[in-house]
Structure 1
Amino acid sequence: MTHTAAPQQVDTILHCRWIIPVVPSATVLQDCSLVIAAGKILALLPQAEASRRFSAKDTLQLDRHIVIPGLVNSHNHAAMSLFKGMADDLPLQDWLEHHIWPAEKQWISPRFVADGTELAAAEMIRSGTTTFSDMYFYPEEVARVAMHAGLRCQLAFPVLDFPTPWGTGPDDYLHKGLALHDKFRSHSTISVGFGPHAPYTVSDEPLQRIATIAEEMQAAIQIHLHETAAEIDNALAQTGERPIQRLQRLGLLSPLTQCVHMTQLDAADIELLANSGAHVIHCPSSNLKLASGFCPVQDLLDAGVNVALGTDSAASNNDQDLLAEMNLAALLAKGVSARADAVDAHTALRMATLNGARALGLEQQIGSLEVGKQADITAIEVNETRNMPLYNPASLLAYSNISNQVSHVWVNGRNLLKQGQLQTLNETGIRANASYWQQRIGKPQAPRA
């Protein structure tokens, strides 16, 4: 007599029409299933085999969906969602010095950061993001909201030469940030790194200290770098060095470093990045809106530099939609490089997932749908007339606006979005808090002529 083994009990089985796992690259699987147990991907196999081998507490038929790894938003200032639309149509330094910094001085508080981060978290989950990196004041509030929302988060605590609502100067920022790092040292979804704002706001001594401590702790460093032509010109006039050369001299450029924006690069800069192992975080919408310039993404990729994607804040982007950044990154790369084959659809998705995970030091845990990795997953329902005909799911992801069709999101196998409904956040309360701040801050003044 032949005995058939009983199906293995698991938590969740997702029967999917299309899966784009990111690894192997340029792969689209049809009619396969993801099996989830204890927060991890246990198996990825044909649907019939999954049904035969496993029995789940929760089985979903995602037969009109594209299923991808959860998106990784590698650069953000989430709480600034409450400054959305405050100072549009201004160049970076004017925007920062005359509008954003004064507004922060007036309004930033723990409650502001908590409410703004929760607003951003709701939008990120709704558009498929499962991990974000944040550089902002009161990072302990960002951590609290991220844990409540169920999102994975890297906190790059800010360091500047001057006082802000969160601290008095470099010593204070580092003291508070290192205490935060100790608090979350062993946390499963929260990591803490250094966030020196930019070369023009942080002097040599604190940058050298950060380089030394980060190396000892193997902690990430995220910094705005080569964001505008004026930044380069001013640095050359004052020091005779390009900002990236200064960071290299100070020991700050390494595989731990996440360089945000990078719109002003020459061949020597790209070679320096490639040799150092530093990562580039590309924020196309923000760069375009602030007229900062164009990141040469394809040149960086050709040189072997890891390029990830970020939204930047909603104050300089107006949304938290990483699928939209994917679309813009793919199109912009073609225009900048004059190559139609630059940043193809699969490369764009990789930038929004595995490349982001790699930049944040999480590539062994997330960023692709592989057995053994955490079950951070996004499902997008593609059954609308405008999605048809659907020959190439990757093309639809990269070249169409489908973020409002995200239907399900999981982190560690936990449902954060189910049938388009938030599961961990109170949307009514989030709207009420946003209205409170809108009324309190009032109508932003028009930009100065």
Structure 2
Amino acid sequence: MARLGPWVPDRAPGGPDVPPVGIAVSGGADSLCLAFLAARWRRAVRALVVDHGLRAESAHEARLTLERLRDLGIPADLLVLDGLTRGPGLADRARRARYAALTRACRQAGIIDLLLGHHADDQAETILIRRRAASGPDGLAGMAWISSTADLRLVRPLLGFGKARLRATLRHAGLAWVEDPSNADVRAERARVRAALAGAPDRAMRACRSAAGAGRARMAADRDQAVALAARAEYAPGGWVALPADLLSPRALSSVLRMVSGRDYPPPRRAVDALAAAPRPATLGGACLLPAGPALRRVGLAWLVVREEAAMDDAVPARAGACWDGRFVLWAPGRTVLDGVTLGAAGSVARWAPPGWRSRWPARAWRTLPALHRDGRVVAVPTAGICHAPELAGVRIALLPGAMAAESGLFGDLPEGGAGVGPGGESALAVQERPDMGV
């Protein structure tokens, strides 16, 4: 865990409260083992149990998991998801809803580190799924030990350990867990891959080893991209980016398009490759590539990436902490709800800008800004410093994109051995065939 830091200092006995480390717990063996180990590592932890409500037993299983956590001395909160229904894309929709609920709960509790229970078998499955989908080199790095969202670190301490070892740890501790039958439903691709790997441990080990090599290459590319973009791109607080012509590499363009659009995934690789090879005004993956105006070209910036207006989310009620369009969070000191006010796209500049207002950015970019609306009128555009309603003068809107223009994840092998090293210096992968050995 030390190599996956830095961490907020732990709470000393009798000392003041500190922000806890969060633990995502489904109640299954993997996440319950993670909670058990985390509580032995530090005092300041808090479990977050998500009930999807997709099975009749899920509410009972969630309550049972809360009881097991409390028996371990781990404080826990229940997060109930509403509105999930069976149908196409269920796994992806459930994943999005789960992470959205976890993020909200972490923000409310002041949690900045969230532990996830993904393990080496999950990593092998992910690699094989991505190979079948013809994923690029970055995708074949698999899941990261550490990845970052706008205001949260996602940490996977168990990536070096197989599922059998986690279950052995729980059995040794006398702990029971929940079995979700949907994990074995072969209608899902991951379940089919899991079944195929169950009889081929060597194949799983090779997949994890290939992910380690791809991860090292990804981190090197991320580092180079971060240096170049930080030095030469320009980022506007309104959520758009200006780029010099020679930074339109497929990799950098894909990252910037994803960041500006606020989407979970980058746009299709072939489309990005074609656009980078022959840059032109285009719309791709919820964002638009536009030629920069004269003022930007004079300082070496040739292209703009702005949000696609037609793809932006509808307006939402203006509440403290509300997130709009996957990128903007509203802050309203001392207030919970702004009565009669909604948060949505600013729209036509003529509706809200003062007379004579000018900018080097195009109107097409300004129209995508988050704005506060009342009775069909724009009453404030905080990001532009414009407010037509004095009572809203203290409201702020922060740009917190879910993806970054240059990733900062930790992939591959941990330095100095890292997590996943067994007794006598054996790698975790080398001892997966010994299921009686716990963590």
Q: State which structure, 1 or 2, has the greater radius of gyration over its C-alpha atoms.
A: 2
TM-score computed with the length of structure 1 as normaliser: 0.27
Report which structure shows greater RCO (CA 8 Å, sep ≥6).
Answer: 1
TM-score, normalising length: structure 2: 0.28
Structure with bigger strand share is 1
